[in-house]
Amino acid sequence: MNRKPLFAAFAASMLLLSGVNAASAAAPSGGELDFTVLRGDDEIGTHRLVFTQDGDELKVKIDTNVAVKMLGIAVYRFEHDGSEIWRDGHLVSLESKTNDDGTPHRLEVKEENGKLVVDGDGRQGTEQIGVIPASLWNDNLVKQTALLNTLDGSSMPVTVGKLGTETVEVNGKPVAATHYSVTGKLNRELWYDENGVLVQVRFAGADGSEITYVLR
């Protein structure tokens, strides 16, 4: 079985310009976002973000653990450990380590001399201050034409369309959310609530299966 094409979308999903208040507005009031990852109706993992305000810095810890099993045996694993630091509404630091079914990725981004220095296994270079990483939680993503890949540091051109307000289920309760479609180097359906908090993610796997992040 060729596992890589089937689950390559997971690697892309982890990739995923304003003041401090705008950046903080996208962070949940409880300080955490805890998603169950589904493939169709099957639970295959978790995606968790923890937000901490430390003085003028917003720190975001991101952990993803996915295991696709067949007959009780894991045929694909994806593990991602990332951290972001935001100051004055923009990214100043990002570090991540990823195990994509045995293929490692690593990335370090830091602010130096008015730019972001990118050191990843997919790219070494610089980014303008204000770039949004494709960790998906920050709703300023919908204003961008390119996103920073959070696995390897590459730049991903995208087009974002607003699809209107819909109702999604969050922890068993209906929540009104704005639906956006992201296409290009990253293809995702995203829903943000009225406060700009990410409440649902959906995309198609390479085999046509539906992958959904359901907020608990």
- pLDDT tens digit string along 106-134? 999 999 999 999 999 999 999 999 999 99
Mean pLDDT value across the chain: 89
Indicate whether 42 pLDDT > 60. Answer: yes
Question: What percent of the chain has a predicted confidence (pLDDT) above 70?
Answer: 87
Q: Is residue 28 part of a domain?
A: yes
Average pLDDT over residues 183-210: 91
124 is a domain residue: yes
Residue 189 lies in a domain: no
Q: Is 14 within a domain?
A: yes
Contacts 24+ apart (CB under 8 A), 109-115: 109/133, 109/148, 109/153
> Is this prediction's pTM over 0.75?
yes
Number of structural domains, the chain? Answer: 1
pLDDT over 70 (residue 58)? yes
Instruction: List beta partners, residue 109.
Output: 94, 118
* Average pLDDT for 182-201: 97
Q: What percentage of residues in the chain have a pLDDT greater than 90?
A: 75
Residue 136 within any structural domain of the chain: yes
pLDDT at residue 204 in the model: 83
pLDDT tens, position by position, 136-157: 999 999 999 999 999 999 999 9
Domain membership of residue 164 (yes or no) is no
Residue 187 covered by a domain: no
Which tokens belong to 208? Answer: 């046509």
The Cα 214–Cα 198 span in angstroms is: 10
> Which domain does 9 fall in, by range?
3-157
Give dist(CA 138, CA 124) in Å, integer: 24
174 within domain boundaries: no
* C-alpha distance across the termini of the chain, in Å: 33
| Tokens (6 digits) for 45 | 């993992």
Q: Does 6 score more than 80 pLDDT?
A: no
